[in-house]
Each structure stands twice: as structure tokens, then as C-alpha cells.
A = this chain, B = another copy of it.
Amino acid sequence: MTQTFDPASLTYDANGLIPAIAQDHATGEVLMLAWMNAESIARTLATGQVTYWSRSRQGFWAKGETSGHVQRLVEMRIDCDRDCLLMLVDQVGPACHTNRRSCFYTALREGAEVEILKPMV
């Protein structure tokens, strides 16, 4: 298979990063947003396992490498400005470090924050 796509063709911020949204490929649920650099995109495409760049640890973050909650890449999509990625994934278990399926478990309802997802058991 000839890879014609070049991660260098994307637009990165001043830190060399691009935001990546992870979406459950089957349910459409938005699971999380994290950041990638060109090399983490290349690793994601080469391995089929979503690999982010951890801004706090300043290192590669192969999602699930310690927890087992890996994200298998189903399809990568690029937005019109080429400065954001959408990763359709097959998520094992919770995507969130709080053990919830999605990081977006807080909703604003009638002006107040409401927890709409419980941790998975």
C-alpha cells in the first residue's frame, strides 16, 4: 500500500500540535479530545493504535498502554483547515481516566453542572 498522505501537510500550532477528537465509530459518541504531533500521527497510522502527545508528560501517549483501554483506529478524518483531526475509533472500555466511557460526562442543564455518565464497572 502506497502511503501518499504526509502528516507534514497538516497545520500545527506553535507547539507543533494539532487537536484530535476521538469518536466512537459505531455509536457516534464523542469520547475525548487530545493532541498529536506529526510523529504521533505517523505512529497512529503505522500501528492502528491511536497515539497522542501528552502535553503534561511531554511524551508519546499510546492510549491504553498501561490501562489496556486502547483505541483502535477505524478511520482518520481531516477538517477543511487541516488544523484538526477526527479519529473514528474502536474504544476498549472507558476513554476517560475517571473510568467513564467519555470525558464529556458533565452537562450544563438549567444553568448547573450535572454528571450524566457514571464510571464503568
What residues make up the interface of A, taking CB atoms closer than 8 Å to B? Answer: 1-5, 19, 21, 23, 27-30, 32-33, 45, 75-81, 84, 86, 96-98, 100, 103-113, 116
Chain B residues whose CB sits within 8 angstroms of the CB of A79 once the complex forms: 32-33, 103-104, 106
Q: How many copies does the complex hold?
A: 2
Q: Taking the nearest CB of chain B, how far is it from the CB of A111, in angstroms?
A: 4
Is the pair A30, B33 in contact by a Cβ cutoff of 8 Å? no
Q: Taking the nearest CB of chain B, how far is it from the CB of A57, in angstroms?
A: 14
A contact patch SS: loop
Chain B residues whose CB sits within 8 angstroms of the CB of A5 once the complex forms: 108, 111-113
Cα distance A81–B56 in the bound complex, in angstroms: 12
